Structure 1
Amino acid sequence: MTKLPETIRLHASSLSEGDVLSPKEFLHLGSRAAIDQAFSRLTKSGELLRVARGVYVSPISSRFGTRPPSPEKVVRAFAEKSGEIVVSHGANSANALGLTQQVPTREVFLSSGRSRKFRLGRSVVAIKHAPQWMLALGSGPAGDAVRALAWMGQSHVTKSLSALHKRLSADDWNTLTSARAVLPSWMAKAIGQESLRG
């Protein structure tokens, strides 16, 4: 029979960049203690990276050496596995939509699940619990617009919406305006006023 670390190593090497694996996935192959020991050994040898309790990823090898996988890919893979909604933070959305030149220095994502942190090499990735309305429109442009508006704040909402109205496609703008019922009053009102300006 193949040794436990070898089985875990083979499985890890078949995954895409950022895909996460957990000791629980291998409980059918041995005792919890043996599986934890195998994961510990693979982590010590650098073949796996422990990003959080019970969550591991494979490092990416290139001609420049090894590096952790992209934070976004790890977070997306984790969200898929846990069934949570995970989207980019309002600061990233505001930057991507051209509302601010400020480039976020920390990797922060918003989630329908609990807040937690992942460690990827030297950087720490934060996942913060967010209210339902921030996640309601998912990770598309309309959802990014909601999070960007929330991050920019009420005092900048009119100017931000004017820019977004020009930038978003007609479909994305309609998605944003049709979601007003679930948004905070100040945001819903401002979106309605911007629509009237047309």
Structure 2
Amino acid sequence: MKKLPELILEHSRTLPEGGVLAPKEFLGVGSRAAIDQAFSRLAKAGKLLRICRGTYVVPVKSQFGTRAPAAEKIVQALAEMNNETVTSTGARAANALGLTQQVPVREIFLTSGRPRTLQLGKTEIQVRHAPRWMLGVSAAGEAIRALAWLGEHHAYSAIKQLHSKLPASEWTMLLARRSTLPSWMATLLGKEAMNA
């Protein structure tokens, strides 16, 4: 019979980059204390990375050495594990849509779940809870996050640019979601729709 650390590593090799491991997955194999100790030793040996309490990922090996998995992949794996929605922040959305030249430096994501901070070596990843209206995964959802990040005063100057960048189907989807948005944003979108 294989030892607990070998079973953990064997399972970890089946995961894609950023796939998460939790000690609870192995409760049928050994006692909780033995499982926790095995995970702790694997993390100290550099075979696993502890990203937060009770959650680990496998480092990625490449020709240049070992690195942590991509933050987006880890956050997405956590979201799938916890049945949550996770998206980029409004700052990233505004940059992707060409509404700002600022490139966010910090790794921040929005979630429908609980807020948490993940630690990847010296890099900190923040996962912040956001209201449902901000969590759309389409281009219309990106537009909503970008407008929210810009704020009421700056969004007025960006709305025409946003309207020209979005495909017609996404603009229609954005307008259809007005009833769920803050009043100022719904008003702004309504005025742009009337002027178009």
Is the TM-score greater than 0.5? yes
Which amino acid letter does the alignment assign opposite residue 196 of structure 1?
A: M
Which amino acid letter does the alignment assign opposite residue 157 of structure 1?
A: A
Residue 157 (structure 2) aligned to one of 153, 156, 159: 159
Conservation of the 8 A alpha-carbon contact between 1:67 and 1:121: no
Match of 1:129 in 2: 129
Which amino acid letter does the alignment assign opposite residue 180 of structure 1?
A: R
Match of 1:56 in 2: 56
Measured against aligned partners, the alpha-carbon deviations of 1:147-182 in whole angstroms (never above 9, x if no partner) come to 000000000122221111110101111110000000
Match of 1:75 in 2: 75
Conservation of the 8 A alpha-carbon contact between 1:18 and 1:74: yes
Unaligned runs of at least 5 residues, structure 2: none
Per the TM alignment, residue 121 of structure 1 is displaced from its structure 2 partner at its CA by 2.0
CA–CA separation in structure 1 for the residues paired with 2:3 and 2:142: 46
Match of 1:29 in 2: 29
Which amino acid letter does the alignment assign opposite residue 117 of structure 1?
A: T
Which amino acid letter does the alignment assign opposite residue 93 of structure 1?
A: A
Task: Quote the sequence identity (%).
Answer: 56
Which amino acid letter does the alignment assign opposite residue 183 of structure 1?
A: L
CA–CA separation in structure 2 for the residues paired with 1:98 and 1:123: 27
CA–CA separation in structure 1 for the residues paired with 2:9 and 2:158: 48
CA–CA separation in structure 2 for the residues paired with 1:140 and 1:76: 16
Match of 1:190 in 2: 188
Measured against aligned partners, the alpha-carbon deviations of 1:1-50 in whole angstroms (never above 9, x if no partner) come to 11000000011011100011100000010100010011011101101000
The count of residues paired between Structure 1 and Structure 2 equals 196
Match of 2:142 in 1: 144
Quick check: 160-169 or 179-188, which moved more?
160-169
TM-score, with length taken from structure 2: 0.98
Which amino acid letter does the alignment assign opposite residue 74 of structure 1?
A: I
Match of 1:115 in 2: 115
TM-score, with length taken from structure 1: 0.97
CA–CA separation in structure 2 for the residues paired with 1:113 and 1:160: 30
CA–CA separation in structure 1 for the residues paired with 2:122 and 2:14: 25
Unaligned runs of at least 5 residues, structure 1: none
CA–CA separation in structure 2 for the residues paired with 1:16 and 1:121: 20
